[in-house]
């Protein structure tokens, strides 16, 4: 979304977006660094492929650490993580899953207490150690579990480069559209610019 103009309009088909998408498409189609079928696989499939040493690298979040080790404990200490690649600038996707209390909830006070409990410092520390997910409380990034974990330290550093997902009601629909067309770009049967222009047209119709 173009936030500088303060209007909801797709911007991923601009030159910067085309260049970034072309970079990933070239990895698959020009430089042939992706195993056959990897670009068509979903998150679950790629995680399984990585855990089974069928792919050597993929982009994901900190929660994948525990997921990979659950699938293949023998990989403990045998893989690592790095910051996202940098072109003009480094960027990492930011998003949160909020706690909500429905207006018609019957036990609002109990719900508030539960949210206060899961969001307090001690609970956030435990949650991070169990799930490997980065906490919403930045103070938790200073605990020994994070500071002494080489992989989590990288994810903590990546938070300095966050770009937040657009806070618009149509985002879930936009996400589906973008994934669909980026997937097509990775297959490499049409020019990337044409693909992103078509995706932008569909996204912009959501705002009409």
- Give the separation between CA 18 and CA 196, rounded to whole angstroms: 7
Looking at per-residue pLDDT, the higher value among 159 and 82 belongs to 82
SS3 call for 2: coil
Determine the pLDDT at residue 5. 44
Determine the pLDDT at residue 134. 83
What tens digit of pLDDT does each residue of 126-180 get?
999 888 888 888 899 889 998 899 999 899 899 889 888 888 889 999 999 999 9
Average pLDDT value for residue range 96-105: 89
pTM: 0.80
Q: How many residues does the chain have?
A: 208
Exposed/middle/buried for residue 28 (C-beta within 10 Å: 0-12, 13-18, 19+):
middle
- Give the separation between CA 38 and CA 40, rounded to whole angstroms: 5
Q: What token pair was written down for 30? A: 């020009």
Determine the pLDDT at residue 115. 95
What tens digit of pLDDT does each residue of 7-58 get?
689 999 999 999 999 999 999 899 998 887 777 888 899 999 999 999 999 9
Quick one: which H or E segment has residue 202?
helix 192-205
Where are the chain's structural domains?
18-161
């Amino acid at each position: 979304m173009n936030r500088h103009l303060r209007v909801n309009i797709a911007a991923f088909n601009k030159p910067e977006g085309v260049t970034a998408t072309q970079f990933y498409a070239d990895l698959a189609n020009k430089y042939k660094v992706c195993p056959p079928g990897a670009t068509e696989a979903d998150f679950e499939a790629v995680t399984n492929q990585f855990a089974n040493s069928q792919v050597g690298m993929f982009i994901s979040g900190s929660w994948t650490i525990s997921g990979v080790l659950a699938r293949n404990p023998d990989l403990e200490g045998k893989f690592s993580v790095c910051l996202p690649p940098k072109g003009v600038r480094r960027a990492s996707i930011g998003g949160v899953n909020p706690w909500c209390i429905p207006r018609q909830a019957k036990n609002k006070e109990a719900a508030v207490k539960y949210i206060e409990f899961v969001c307090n410092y001690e609970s956030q520390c435990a949650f991070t150690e169990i799930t490997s997910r980065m906490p919403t409380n930045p103070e938790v990034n200073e605990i020994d579990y994070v500071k002494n974990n080489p992989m989590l330290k990288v994810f903590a550093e990546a938070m300095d480069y966050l770009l937040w997902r657009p806070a618009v009601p149509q985002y879930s629909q936009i996400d589906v559209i973008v994934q669909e067309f980026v997937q097509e770009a990775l297959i490499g049967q049409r020019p990337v610019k044409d693909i992103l222009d078509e995706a932008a047209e569909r996204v912009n119709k959501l705002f009409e």
